C-alpha cells in the first residue's frame, strides 16, 4: 500500500484532490494533514471521511516536531503539499502568517521528507502545489511559461515564490525528488467565499453590494477546480522529477465581465428580472499592488502528460452556481462567526 500525505486537504482545492485520490486509488492510504484554519472545513470531505483508505490528522505544518513524528510514524511514499495561507487580501492586512505557513511550513515538510527518505529516493515524490502569481503581472500580451522569471508582488505571492525556490533548492542540493506545478485561478464547489466567484454568488443571493476592486479591468485565467485536481493526479503519477508544470484553462476574463455574467446566470436561476443583480455592483477601493493580468500557457502539460481541461467555462460555472445555491447550509456555516468580522473590516468604505 502506498502512503501519500496530502497537506491542506480540508481546504478548497485540497478537498477535491483528496476526493479524487481516495476514490480512484483504493490501494493507497491518503493521510490529510490540516490545521483547520478558517479556510479548512471538515464538511468539505463528509462524503469520503469514513473510507478505510482515508485518515485525517489535525496538525500545523509549522509544528516541526509534530511533522517529523508524523513522517516517522507513516513513512510516506509521497507528499502532495497544498497547505497554505492563500488569500491575497489577507496577506496585505496580515503578512506574518503567510511567511510562517507558506515558507517555514514548507521547509519543515522538506526536512521531514529528507529525514525519512535519507538518500533512498526510488518511487518517492515531494510534489509542491504553487500558483501563477509567482510570475508577477502581465500586460495586454503574452503568457506565463514555466521559464518566465519570478516577479511576485504581494506578500502571498512572495511567500509562495520563496517556497518554490526552497523546494527547487532541495532538488538541486540534496537530490530530493520534487515536482512543482503553478496553476491559475480555480473556481468550483467548496471555495471559501472570500474569493471572488463564491463571494459574488453569495452576495447576489443575499442582495448585498457586489464589491469590484478598482475599475474591474484586471484579468484572471479561470480553471475548474476538478480539472486542477486531475492535473495534480497526472503530474504526481506521470510528471518528471525536477520539472515544473504550468496549469491553466486558456480562459481569461476581465473581472467586470465575469461579474456581469454571474449576475445574469443568477438572475435566471433566481427568477429575477434580467439586470436586477447588476444593480448591486459597487466599485470599491482597489487592492494594493493589484496584479493586472494572469494568463497561463499550459502547452507543456498538454504535450507531455496529455492533460487538458474537461469542461468549458460555461459548464463549469453553471454547475458551480448550482452547487452554491443547493448548499446554502454549507455557505451559512462558513460565513458565520469570524468571517463576518473579516468581511466588515475588508469592505468598510
Ligand atoms: P484554501 O485557503 O482554501 O485552503 C488551505 C488549506 O490549508 C486549509 O484547509 C487550511 O486549513 C490549511 N492550512 C493553512 N495553514 C495551515 C498550516 N499552518 N498547517 C496545516 N494546514 C494549514 O486554499 P486553496 O485555494 O485550496 O489553495 C490550496 C493550494 O493551492 C495553496 O498552496 C495555494 O497557494 C494553491 N493555489 C490556489 C489557487 C486558487 O485559485 N485557489 C490557484 C493556484 C494555486
Ligand atoms: O492565480 C492563482 C491565485 O488565484 C491563487 O494563488 C490564490 O490563492 C487565489 O486566491 C487567487 O488569487 P486572486 O487574488 O486572483 O483571487 P481573488 O478571488 O481574491 O480575486 C480575483 C480577482 O477579483 C482579483 O483581480 C481581485 C478581484 N476582486 C476580488 C475580491 C475578493 C474584486 O474585484 N472584488 C473582491 O471582493
φ, ψ dihedrals at 66, nearest 5°: -60, -45
User: What nine digits make up the cell of 322?
Assistant: 448550482
pLDDT of the residue at 287: 98
Choose one of 151, 217, 287, 289 to mutate for the ligand 2 pocket test, by most ligand atoms within 8 angstroms of C-beta.
Answer: 287
pLDDT surpasses 80 at 124:
yes
Residues 137-148: tens digit of each pLDDT? 999 999 999 999
Query: How many domains does the chain fold into?
Result: 1
* Residue 156 is among the residues annotated as catalytic for this protein: yes
DSSP 151-179: ---SHHHHHHHHHHHHHHHHHHHH---EE
Does residue 339 surpass a pLDDT of 90?
Answer: no
CA 44 – CA 56 distance, rounded (Å): 12
Tell me whether residue 338 is in a domain. Answer: no
Instruction: Specify the pLDDT at position 342.
Output: 87
β-pair partners for 138: 293
Looking at the predicted structure, is the pLDDT value of residue 18 above 80? yes
Pick from 140-149, 259-268, 333-342: least confident:
333-342
Q: Is residue 133 among the annotated active site residues?
A: yes
Domain membership flag for residue 27: yes
Give, as one character, the DSSP assignment of residue 195: S
pLDDT score recorded for residue 234: 98
d(CA 228, CA 208): 30
Q: How far is CA 327 from CA 43, 211, 314, 317, 321, in A?
A: 11, 23, 20, 15, 10
Torsions phi, psi for 134 (to 5 deg): -65, -25
pLDDT tens for each residue of 180-234: 999 999 999 999 999 999 999 999 999 999 999 999 999 999 999 999 999 999 9
Asked if the structure places residue 319 within a domain, the reply is: no
User: Does the residue 34 lie in any domain?
Assistant: yes
Give residue 340's pLDDT band: very low, low, confident or very high (50, 70, 90).
Answer: confident
Ligand nearest the Cα of residue 92 is 2
Pocket of ligand 1 (CB under 6 A): 8, 10-14, 34-37, 39-40, 60-62, 82-86, 101, 105, 129, 131, 160, 183, 185-186, 192
The residue from 54, 156, 170, 294 that is catalytic is 156
95, exposed or middle or buried, with CB in 10 Å at 0-12, 13-18, 19+? middle
Helix (H) or strand (E) holding 228: helix 225-238
Q: Which domain holds residue 141?
A: 2-187+222-247
Q: What are phi and psi of 258, to 5 degrees?
A: -65, -40
Q: What is the pLDDT of residue 271?
A: 97
> pLDDT band at 107, cuts 50/70/90?
very high
**207 is annotated as an active-site residue:** no
Cell numbers at 272, concatenated: 429575477
CA dist 311 and 332 (Å) reads 28
Which three three-digit cell numbers place residue 276?
Answer: 436586477
> What is the average pLDDT across 270-276?
96
Three cell numbers, residue 333: 456555516
Does residue 88 lie within any of the structural domains?
Answer: yes
Residue 171 is assigned to a structural domain of this protein: yes
If you take atom 6 of ligand 2, which residue's CA is the nearest one? 131
> What is the helix (H) or strand (E) element at residue 281, kind and residue range?
strand 281-284
265-268's contacts with Cβ under 8 Å and 24+ in sequence apart are: 265/317, 265/318, 265/321, 266/201, 266/204, 266/205, 266/321
CATH number at residue 29: 3.40.50.720
Residue closest to 317 by CA, chosen among 230, 131, 187, 196? 187
How many angstroms is it from 232 CA to the middle of ligand 2?
A: 21
Compute the half-sphere exposure of residue 287: CA atoms within 13 Å on the CB side of its CA: 21
Domain membership of residue 149 (yes or no) is yes
226-255 per-position pLDDT tens digit: 999 999 999 999 999 999 999 999 999 999
CB neighbour class for 157 (10 Å; exposed up to 12, middle 13-18, buried from 19): buried
Task: Kindly state whether residue 40 falls inside one of the protein's structural domains.
Answer: yes
How many residues make up the chain in this entry? 349
**What confidence score (pLDDT) does residue 338 get?**
82
Cα four-point dihedral sign 46, 339, 192, 164? negative
Beta bridge partners of 4: 30, 78
Amino acid at each position: 500500500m502506498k502512503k501519500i500525505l496530502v497537506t491542506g486537504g480540508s481546504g478548497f482545492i485540497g478537498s477535491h484532490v483528496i476526493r479524487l485520490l481516495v476514490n480512484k486509488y483504493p490501494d493507497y492510504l491518503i493521510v490529510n494533514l490540516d490545521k483547520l484554519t478558517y479556510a479548512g472545513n471538515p464538511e468539505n470531505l463528509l462524503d469520503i471521511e469514513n473510507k478505510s483508505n482515508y485518515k485525517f490528522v489535525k496538525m500545523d505544518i509549522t509544528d516541526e516536531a509534530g511533522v517529523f513524528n508524523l513522517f516517522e510514524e507513516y513513512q510516506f511514499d509521497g507528499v502532495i503539499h497544498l497547505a497554505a495561507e492563500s488569500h491575497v487580501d489577507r496577506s496585505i492586512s496580515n503578512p506574518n502568517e503567510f511567511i510562517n505557513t507558506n515558507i517555514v511550513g514548507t521547509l519543515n515538510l522538506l526536512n521531514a521528507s529528507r529525514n525519512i527518505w535519507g538518500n533512498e529516493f526510488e518511487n518517492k515524490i515531494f510534489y509542491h502545489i504553487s500558483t501563477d502569481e509567482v510570475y508577477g503581472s502581465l500586460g495586454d500580451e503574452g503568457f506565463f511559461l514555466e521559464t518566465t522569471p519570478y516577479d511576485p508582488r504581494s506578500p502571498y505571492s512572495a511567500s509562495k515564490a520563496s517556497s518554490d525556490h526552497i523546494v527547487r533548492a532541495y532538488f538541486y542540493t540534496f537530490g530530493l525528488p520534487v515536482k512543482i506545478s503553478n496553476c491559475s485561478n480555480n473556481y468550483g464547489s467548496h471555495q471559501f467565499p472570500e474569493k471572488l466567484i463564491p463571494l459574488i454568488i453569495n452576495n447576489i443571493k443575499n442582495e448585498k453590494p457586489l464589491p469590484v476592486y478598482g475599475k474591474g479591468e484586471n484579468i484572471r485565467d479561470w480553471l475548474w477546480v476538478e480539472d486542477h485536481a486531475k492535473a495534480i493526479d497526472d503530474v504526481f503519477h506521470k510528471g518528471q522529477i525536477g520539472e515544473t508544470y504550468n496549469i491553466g484553462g486558456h480562459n481569461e476574463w476581465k473581472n467586470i465581465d465575469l461579474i456581469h455574467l454571474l449576475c445574469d446566470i443568477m438572475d435566471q436561476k433566481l427568477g429575477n428580472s434580467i439586470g436586477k443583480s447588476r444593480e448591486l455592483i459597487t466599485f470599491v477601493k482597489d487592492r494594493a499592488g493589484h496584479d493586472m493580468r494572469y494568463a497561463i500557457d499550459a502547452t507543456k502539460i498538454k504535450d507531455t502528460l496529455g492533460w487538458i481541461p474537461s469542461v468549458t467555462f460555461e459548464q463549469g460555472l453553471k454547475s458551480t452556481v448550482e452547487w452554491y445555491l443547493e448548499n446554502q447550509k454549507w455557505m451559512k456555516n462558513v460565513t458565520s462567526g469570524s468571517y463576518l468580522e473579516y468581511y466588515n473590516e475588508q469592505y468598510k468604505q
